[in-house]
Structure 1
């Protein structure tokens, strides 16, 4: 047995022994990847408009002749059964073990943003829907379920979560994010990381850093933000997921900030990530981003030059195929432009992860790793039940002014179900779900999943009701020919349920998703006209928006009997939505992004200093939201009272507790989300009027009450001062307990005393230590 195969030895010792045996080409091979997609054949569909940077330079045998670091998307590229996918993965791993000199297996990675992106695997709600649950425990359970499925077929690393903080709702990838507040993004994202990694799957944080702040909300655009916004808004979720979640991998953003591409930025990938935060995992490139240093950023003269810049900066692995980290990198080392020690640094990180995954253990086999021969169900009833739970918990009741909801399941209703999202279940799915991401390239092939539409679910939920259906208009395009029939259906009904929104896709093949950026926030296609026409019929109307971003609803929200928002609730979205509409499930979702009033005047997230907010008479643009961050109604009512502070003063290195009593005063059980905000009214720099400090959910039966308490350290009030250091300074802090950022129920002030403190990352508290009631 080779010393590197001996699991009883320390990991670093095993890796050192292996590296001592490796040639330069074998080392460099560990920094590359292979994607069989590129060699499927000339008829294979394109992945992206920039596919030239993604395609392999060599065939399979040549690409893996000296070994390989990663196998890219063995399941997520084409519609393979789990058995067929495992067979291909086992074959490639067996080749690496049996046919290469050192027999080093590869790390197999795949997408898992809305569940394991494999044919026939459960599709969970989008990350924006995770955020709407405001429930870390639930999302950790979901992450664990996804990790179990990936592990069961030999996948070692997942390319999720996305920790970009939304800055402009027009950006196409808003659906992939966890909202517009760094505290919420960090809490939910870290929970997902813990869940996924609890099953032995490496989580990959992306996109590091600033992708969502791209200029003009365009995909692949420069980022124009200052160092303070980067430090205080963009970076905290990544730091938290690394320091508290133990995330094992980071993926760079495609963007450049102030002219410096992230893929070639040593201040970001080494100084901050590794030296300041102590990150010890691997940095993997977003697909093609090393080659983009030459083709799109133009900071490299050749692919070899791009490899040198990326490797020097701290980029360990080139994905999805070896293009720059192959012969070009080898030549850079041979010529002396890249020290071999720089290659060794990255190789050591990759091999340490392979040791941690058990890939170098003497007993490891490709067959056992992929559980070959073991039955696997990637869409089990347990998965679907969890997907329904997350979907239902993410639904946000925005308005119910005429109390038309919930619908009585025992009554007979005449309902006109209208809209393009009412009978198209793929509108429930995000752009990185397998059915929307891959299956459009295989027309005529079944989706591999049974995905009931809302129409299907409502018919089952309301068996005594008469439910007619009219599409009215498609999601996209200007075809309004169906609007008259939709209006006629509404006029003949007691209630109109209008279901509008997005159909997610990639690079313009959808209204939401990667590359599907928009000029304004009006509903896509002719849906705006459809909603107006149905409202003009005079029939009480419930507006249900199923979307990947918030759309402006100011033109009609006050005319609706009720308004419901769902951020792509996944394959069980039909049942989840129907359950909320009928009251089988209590609505308890909260907005992770604001709902705008008007389509223009963007961006307008809530995290703004006074100058970023509406100012009467100074500008004609009114950016006040229609529904604020954190907003969400219930079918019951709650009273908040008895605010308590453990102290009126706390030192700048101290902590305190704030709590309140919450009571259910309605006649139905419900879940309230208590949100703790703070304001630092006098600081060295202009700071947001409100910032989320923490949140806690509490489930209460009618008449039941519970105390919700938060314990905060003064570090939670830290920010980047004038000299660029993170500081906590003495002074007044305003504390606000609210049902949303615009619905503050209780408020208090606390004074920070003592000297100004300068913080580094070591020992800094990133999260409030909330003492929360049991999640329900």
Structure 2
């Protein structure tokens, strides 16, 4: 291959995108003019960027267009190599008419890796059916500051939860033959003050013990074939120019063998934002030398600037060959280099050469099976934060549905759903999927109730003129369902989403004033939240009859929420992020050491209103029968114990058993506790399970003084809990023997065994 043919395989091409029409990625307005395809394609092409996710297109017609484009690409270059097509799939395939699943923060709330794996496999099948090869998901960033706009895209504030859920997503996507892409590697979510792309200030120990473990778990257990570096710099070193991270840790230590693809314009940012490169050629040199293989979304630094640098001798040709080899190996794995390769995707197989309009509507990306999956995940992700006994509602005669999200179809969608991410720039195009509003869902759930809907305020506006009408409606009703929260958007066009960072965790706009006015009205208030991040809820934490938290639950989300309110759905979600008691105490996370907690040395109190892992149900559970078989073991051993879990209430429900480890004395400061395991256990009324636990000593490991992971001898405490603030059984443990060094082959999980117990009598509902 010529040098130009080699570099052509290292770039993407974003057909149909330009610098106008609003941004879907940072600094899109700086895009150069679209390349001349007749000049570019004879040399080949590495990737096609978002053929379905750039503008509304019928899926079948999109598949046909992609087919024709691939034929043109393969025919134009002398080796017949097609492009690899990638798409966003953060909460479902970001394409017109595709299922909008709950956002990743809801995946975390469900605490159910198996269901997330099933969802990801379904997303992968839809991507593959229309000719897409790579999905730019999942996000493995651990929330460190909930003011960050992209919290909705994350799975939560705990690295173990993030790692297990994200790994399941990777496994599902890869099982469908789609290249999963881990992002954003690493530290993006820890930016100063929660500002998008802001510098990251953290020590190597925090990075090693909080930020990196989810990526390590996903690489080891998910076998992803792509990784995307973060936009941010950590302690002055941008991820896209960090060879120790991309080559040293990712490849040499963890054994990753796939491709590293740049985040959109991330290589150019080395010059324009970070100032570590003097021009495009220098940026290309830095990124390529550090281990970045592919430039996305379109031709820029890896085009003529890279050619110039190689010809000038500032970039060794061997670096180009290294990246090229990884790209071609991946294309070979996907079958793109096979002699009998065909660009015809499964969705168009057997359709014949008919007119394009005859294909319209042929491909369904929102099938009933998809919607059923979306509904199941949405139901499991609803978190009941507070209930004074009013919930579930018993067919109230008059319901006042009040709030900015009461009758808004897109209130359930995150910023990477197609209707929000792309559809807002095409207002004349239909939404493409059914999005029942909360008003419609409640009307269906409570057909015998009179429903009065009043907006009151907008999500982020300053007008309070509608509050008086809302109060009047509340006083005429038996119960108020108050629908507050966020509007997803991009780069300041929403209250949640990429580039929509918050100064505080106060509810946006005048929603707090509406909430307070309704709490004063005298009618019981059930506060519901359709949001992308947690907010301080003020008086509602003691004054509301109930609080139900949903994190952008997707197209079936309002039905799931209505089902929880009626009791048709037993709430089983748990908080993946803490809900703050005060809006300004940030950053805050349950993963805090003792000095970071409340005390008499500071006038601020970061204690949350509802801690990580919290969630109520409509039944009660009893925890008993603790038996510890092995409470003391060597630093290379394991602990063994068991306990009984009973549903002591009158209704079926699901408990989420959470295991937290407390290390009271260590050679470096440790968080007071951290999650090391969990298990959803559904139980019918009166039923019980004997839960056995085996915990390897490796779970107690941390990064020691010298920067290496170790297990230390000493006392530990295992907290078998219903949440991070609700330990039910506490077990003292002890590790003996020498300090033991660990590497990336350490054991990552406890083992659960669950056996059925004889039923017990249940009380009358």
1:758 correspondence with 2:741: yes
Give yes or no for contact 2:347–2:363 (8 Å, CA) kept in 1: no
What SS does structure 2 have at the residue aligned with 1:145? helix
CA distance in 2, matches of 1:272, 1:586: 44
CA distance in 1, matches of 2:36, 2:444: 51
- Match for residue 9 of structure 1? none
Shift in Å at residue 181 of structure 1? Answer: 0.1
1:386 correspondence with 2:373: yes
- Match for residue 262 of structure 1? 239
- Match for residue 99 of structure 2? 122
1:202 correspondence with 2:185: no
CA distance in 2, matches of 1:63, 1:595: 51
Change over 3 Å in CA distance of 1:365–1:584 after alignment to 2:
same
TM-score (norm 2): 0.96
Once the two structures are superposed, residues 709-749 of structure 1 have per-residue CA deviations (whole angstroms, 9 ceiling, x without a partner) of 33221111111111111111111111000000110000111
Mapping of 1:321-470 within 5 angstroms? 321-368=298-345, 371-372=348-349, 375-401=362-388, 403-408=389-394, 411-470=395-454
What SS does structure 2 have at the residue aligned with 1:544? strand
Change over 3 Å in CA distance of 1:166–1:559 after alignment to 2:
same
How many corresponding residue pairs? 746
CA distance in 2, matches of 1:92, 1:445: 24
Change over 3 Å in CA distance of 1:52–1:422 after alignment to 2:
closer
CA distance in 2, matches of 1:420, 1:428: 12
1:687 correspondence with 2:670: yes
1:730 correspondence with 2:716: no
Mapping of 1:558-597 within 5 angstroms? 558-597=542-581
1:174 correspondence with 2:151: yes
Shift in Å at residue 202 of structure 1? Answer: 0.8
Shift in Å at residue 591 of structure 1? Answer: 0.3
Structure 1 residue runs of 5 or longer lacking an equivalent are: 1-21
What SS does structure 2 have at the residue aligned with 1:289? coil
CA distance in 2, matches of 1:371, 1:243: 35
- Match for residue 15 of structure 2? 36
CA distance in 1, matches of 2:488, 2:218: 27
Shift in Å at residue 180 of structure 1? Answer: 0.1
Shift in Å at residue 658 of structure 1? Answer: 3.1
Give yes or no for contact 1:56–1:321 (8 Å, CA) kept in 2: no
Shift in Å at residue 338 of structure 1? Answer: 1.4
Shift in Å at residue 364 of structure 1? Answer: 1.1
The equivalent position to 1:767 in structure 2, one of 746, 749, 763, is: 749
Shift in Å at residue 216 of structure 1? Answer: 1.0
- Match for residue 713 of structure 1? 696
What SS does structure 1 have at the residue aligned with 2:536? coil
RMSD: 1.4
Mapping of 1:299-310 within 5 angstroms? 299-310=276-287
- Match for residue 241 of structure 1? 218
Once the two structures are superposed, residues 117-154 of structure 1 have per-residue CA deviations (whole angstroms, 9 ceiling, x without a partner) of 00000000000000000011111111111111101101
Shift in Å at residue 57 of structure 1? Answer: 5.2
The equivalent position to 2:6 in structure 1, one of 8, 27, 41, is: 27
CA distance in 1, matches of 2:30, 2:220: 33
- Match for residue 649 of structure 1? 632
- Report the more deviating stretch, 54-63 or 264-273: 54-63
Give yes or no for contact 1:698–1:773 (8 Å, CA) kept in 2: no
CA distance in 1, matches of 2:345, 2:193: 49
Shift in Å at residue 25 of structure 1? Answer: 1.1
CA distance in 1, matches of 2:144, 2:84: 34
Change over 3 Å in CA distance of 1:106–1:63 after alignment to 2:
same
Shift in Å at residue 624 of structure 1? Answer: 0.4
Give yes or no for contact 1:113–1:127 (8 Å, CA) kept in 2: yes
Shift in Å at residue 341 of structure 1? Answer: 1.2
Shift in Å at residue 370 of structure 1? Answer: 6.2
What SS does structure 2 have at the residue aligned with 1:77? coil
Shift in Å at residue 37 of structure 1? Answer: 2.6
Once the two structures are superposed, residues 89-121 of structure 1 have per-residue CA deviations (whole angstroms, 9 ceiling, x without a partner) of 112110121121111011100000010000000
Give yes or no for contact 2:626–2:644 (8 Å, CA) kept in 1: yes
- Match for residue 704 of structure 1? 687
- Report the more deviating stretch, 363-372 or 459-468: 363-372
- Match for residue 509 of structure 2? 525
Shift in Å at residue 347 of structure 1? Answer: 0.7
CA distance in 2, matches of 1:52, 1:301: 21
CA distance in 1, matches of 2:751, 2:37: 50
Give yes or no for contact 1:588–1:634 (8 Å, CA) kept in 2: yes
CA distance in 1, matches of 2:15, 2:33: 8
Once the two structures are superposed, residues 682-722 of structure 1 have per-residue CA deviations (whole angstroms, 9 ceiling, x without a partner) of 10111000100100011111110002233221111111111
1:551 correspondence with 2:532: no
Shift in Å at residue 580 of structure 1? Answer: 0.8
CA distance in 2, matches of 1:90, 1:562: 52
- Match for residue 495 of structure 1? 479
- Match for residue 5 of structure 1? none
Once the two structures are superposed, residues 226-249 of structure 1 have per-residue CA deviations (whole angstroms, 9 ceiling, x without a partner) of 100000000000000000111111
What SS does structure 2 have at the residue aligned with 1:426? helix
CA distance in 1, matches of 2:462, 2:215: 41
CA distance in 1, matches of 2:412, 2:403: 14
Give yes or no for contact 1:697–1:772 (8 Å, CA) kept in 2: no
- Match for residue 19 of structure 1? none
Change over 3 Å in CA distance of 1:711–1:503 after alignment to 2:
same
- Report the more deviating stretch, 97-106 or 517-526: 97-106
CA distance in 2, matches of 1:242, 1:55: 35
What SS does structure 1 have at the residue aligned with 2:60? helix
Change over 3 Å in CA distance of 1:368–1:440 after alignment to 2:
closer
Give yes or no for contact 1:425–1:574 (8 Å, CA) kept in 2: no
What SS does structure 2 have at the residue aligned with 1:149? helix
CA distance in 1, matches of 2:139, 2:56: 25
TM-score (norm 1): 0.94
What SS does structure 2 have at the residue aligned with 1:290? coil
Give yes or no for contact 1:694–1:770 (8 Å, CA) kept in 2: no
CA distance in 1, matches of 2:170, 2:206: 24
CA distance in 1, matches of 2:521, 2:197: 43
Give yes or no for contact 2:570–2:653 (8 Å, CA) kept in 1: yes
Shift in Å at residue 407 of structure 1? Answer: 1.5
What SS does structure 1 have at the residue aligned with 2:679? strand
CA distance in 2, matches of 1:666, 1:582: 18
Once the two structures are superposed, residues 9-59 of structure 1 have per-residue CA deviations (whole angstroms, 9 ceiling, x without a partner) of xxxxxxxxxxxxx111111111101001335xx864443451145446513
Once the two structures are superposed, residues 327-380 of structure 1 have per-residue CA deviations (whole angstroms, 9 ceiling, x without a partner) of 111111112211111111111111111111111112211124664566421000
Shift in Å at residue 172 of structure 1? Answer: 0.3
Mapping of 1:478-517 within 5 angstroms? 478-517=462-501
Once the two structures are superposed, residues 430-455 of structure 1 have per-residue CA deviations (whole angstroms, 9 ceiling, x without a partner) of 00000010011112221111110111
Give yes or no for contact 2:129–2:345 (8 Å, CA) kept in 1: no
Shift in Å at residue 545 of structure 1? Answer: 1.2
What SS does structure 2 have at the residue aligned with 1:646? strand
Give yes or no for contact 2:413–2:554 (8 Å, CA) kept in 1: yes
Superposed structure 1 runs of 4+ greater than 6 Å apart: none
CA distance in 2, matches of 1:379, 1:646: 50
Once the two structures are superposed, residues 299-334 of structure 1 have per-residue CA deviations (whole angstroms, 9 ceiling, x without a partner) of 111101100000000000000001000111111111
